[in-house]
Amino acid sequence: MTESLPTLIENSLQIAWDYLEGIGELADQQQTAEFLLRNVQSQMLKGERRALMLSNRAIESYRKQPNHLQLVRWG
């Protein structure tokens, strides 16, 4: 069964968000959400439709940002 595109986006973002939150690398919520959404949308425009692949690639891109850890809120 194929997920609708909004459901696919939502599921992919939730996987990525939960992972980043779980490892303590969730930065500013608005910036993180926007980054992950742009990344997932970009991948989907290239034809990717697997939620886990979308989320894993978004996480990888996020973690490769040079300043991603400086945005993390401690406390």
- 6-63 pLDDT, tens digit per residue, is 999 999 999 999 999 999 988 789 999 999 999 999 999 999 999 999 999 999 999 9
Long-range contacts of 21-29 (CB under 8 A, 24+ apart): 24/72, 25/62, 25/63, 25/68, 25/69, 25/72, 26/72, 27/68, 27/69, 27/71, 27/72, 27/73, 28/71, 28/73
**Sequence spans of domains, the chain:** 5-71
Cα separation, 74 vs 45, in Å, equals: 35
Which of 74, 3, 61 is CA-nearest to residue 32?
61
- pTM for this one? 0.85
Confidence of residue 70 (pLDDT cuts 50, 70, 90): low
